[in-house]
Chain A
Amino acid sequence: MTVTELFDRWGGLIVDATIETFQMVSISLIFAIIIGLPLGILLVTTRPNKSFENKYIYRTLNAIINIIRSIPFIILLFTLLPFTRMIVGTSMGVRGVIVPLVIFTAPFIARLMESALLEVDKGVLEAYEAMGIKTKDIIWHVMVREAKPSIILGITIAVIALIGATAMAGLVGAGGLGDVAYRFGHLRYEPEVMYFTIIILVVIIQLIQTIGNRLAERAKKD
């Protein structure tokens, strides 16, 4: 089979699947960052000896994040079925998979944000405290700002993990590249479809990592 034939036969399917994957990844990513970044900030500021030290919040948050992060996505997907139905009205399709994807990714992002924020030089935070600047401004204009290169790299890692997780989305009828590879490549034994999707996935991941690295480098200013 020539490349042209391959495209004629599977192109449309793969383009659709790629779009589905992008939809799932981008929507869940936005929600996961909206939830994960504040949680990361909370993890950093409520730990002992920090500005909003609170061992109850810190320990509870830590435990919840660890519990969710211990569950493989495929299990989380099924465990959350009733919850998903309650929130978005369905547990099927792209809409149905967003909830479990967000719940899977947000704690991961929270951890990535936590480690990025912890890298920020304590001395700078202290200098700003000494200048009489409000703690909330220090968090946003110093801590988050200075951590930006690491935050960008963290989000890159999260996106790649998300793409991996969307491969399971086919199980609830959400489609996507992973679903195509599984249904056509494995169940119907059309190996060229499998290789085709793999190549596309490799290219996408390479691209994302490259963009992530570039953006992080630019944010670093050195």
Chain B
Amino acid sequence: MIELKNIHKTFPSKKNGEPITALSDVSLTVQKGEIFGVIGYSGAGKSTLVRCVNHLEVPTSGEVSINGNVLNDMTTEQLRQARQNIGMIFQGFNLLKTANVYDNIAIPLKLTGVEKSEIKKRVDKYLDIVGLKDKKDVFPNQLSGGQKQRVAIARALSHEPDVLLSDEATSALDPDTTDSILNLLLKINAELGITILLITHEMHVIQKICDRVAVMENGEVIEQGNVIDVYSAPKHQTTRRFVNSIFPSDVPKAFIEQLESEGPIIDLTFVGTSADQPALSTVSKRFNVDTNILSGNIVQLKEHPFGKLTAHIKGPKEETDKALAYLEEQGVQVSEVEQGYDSN
């Protein structure tokens, strides 16, 4: 659906020094119908990456293709046509201040040559989908942030695109509003079959709606895969930091050292259904051990629950070994926390 091949992007430096490399050798494929998330810290190159997808930013080298059509080879006119099939929403909503909700959706439709009678139908249809049917005559400054983003989403959808790009669309919103916008994105993905490529710096966004994720740092994709795989076995240091950010585990070091003398401290990763089962409590009943959860969290990924706990298993070595073996049998990933435990 969306294919990025070896994208490089450099910007001329402001002060005639070294050019800034925003993207280096990025390759990604987004499958039709999926929600693909790109996460990274600020300055990682995420915005530049999505902007390359619709050539708002022309890559220095590399190829962008959508539905097999290569954007690099297109004339200005062809690119314009191609863009009408790629919706985009932004952190700042980018609505016309001087136009009401209806016109904010109708004007771009008119400018892309949609017929008058069709315009009215589309505005009504998509305002209904985003739940703002009764706000047609309202101007953007009378809307909340979440409502403005809904108008922007309706505007993007009204062109009936195959693809929706989102550049931090929820980053300016409070947590509740963020959730409602994410639910809306899930809905349009499921019901309209629109492929979504979004970028964010929040793990919350990834875990709630994404099927696959790519992690970016310094203009490169350092890791990508199914969300569940990346969460359960993050390979890169930065990915681990992102995953650990939702599983706080700042147990004091002195405390750990003291506990380790009485039994192992382990990280338990529960994937999928095993997160539902109270495996840890069963352990203390079956074996001669005491379990004590030091920190952890269970989150709901798009399709599976996923949990990560740090626990202390107290007891004689042979019993704790059996307990660990049992946990692994139950489909729980177990890894012993090393000395020099890194809270990050």
Q: Which residues of A contact B (CB under 8 A)?
A: 121, 123-124, 126-134, 137, 141-142, 145-146, 148-149, 219-222
Q: Which residues of chain A have C-beta atoms less than 8 A from B253's C-beta?
A: none
Q: Which residues of chain A have C-beta atoms less than 8 A from B97's C-beta?
A: 121, 146, 220-222
Q: Does B282 interact with chain A (Cβ within 8 Å)?
A: no
Q: Contacts A121-B94, A124-B94 known; A132 to B141 CB distance under 8 Å?
A: no
Q: How far is the CA of A145 from the CA of B96 in the complex (A)?
A: 9
Q: Contacts A134-B80, A137-B111, A221-B139 known; A127 to B98 CB distance under 8 Å?
A: no
Chain A binding surface, main DSSP class: helix
Q: How far is the CA of A132 from the CA of B160 in the complex (A)?
A: 13
How many residues in B have their beta carbons less than 8 Å from beta carbons of A?
32
Q: Does B44 interact with chain A (Cβ within 8 Å)?
A: no
Do B84 and A131 touch across chains, with their CB atoms under 8 A apart? yes
Do A124 and B111 touch across chains, with their CB atoms under 8 A apart? no
- Within the complex, the shortest CB–CB distance from B43 to chain A, in Å, comes to 19
Q: Contacts A123-B90, A222-B139 known; A131 to B98 CB distance under 8 Å?
A: no
Do B141 and A221 touch across chains, with their CB atoms under 8 A apart? yes
- Within the complex, the shortest CB–CB distance from A221 to chain B, in Å, comes to 5
Contact of B98 among A123, A130, A146 (CB under 8 A): A146
The proximity string for B residues 73-94 relative to A, scoring 1 for CB distances below 8 Å and 0 otherwise, is: 0000001111110111010101
- Within the complex, the shortest CB–CB distance from A147 to chain B, in Å, comes to 9
Q: Does B107 interact with chain A (Cβ within 8 Å)?
A: yes
**Pairs A–B under 8 Å by Cβ, sample size 26:** A121-B92, A124-B96, A126-B94, A127-B88, A127-B94, A127-B152, A129-B83, A130-B54, A131-B83, A131-B88, A131-B111, A131-B156, A132-B80, A132-B82, A132-B83, A132-B84, A132-B112, A133-B80, A133-B111, A141-B111, A145-B99, A221-B97, A221-B99, A221-B139, A222-B97, A222-B141
Q: How far is the CA of A123 from the CA of B88 in the complex (A)?
A: 12
- Within the complex, the shortest CB–CB distance from B302 to chain A, in Å, comes to 27
Do B80 and A220 touch across chains, with their CB atoms under 8 A apart? no
- Within the complex, the shortest CB–CB distance from B94 to chain A, in Å, comes to 4
Q: How far is the CA of A130 from the CA of B50 in the complex (A)?
A: 11
Give 4 new A-B contacts, CB below 8 A, not counting A126-B56, A131-B88, A220-B98.
A129-B83, A131-B156, A132-B81, A148-B98
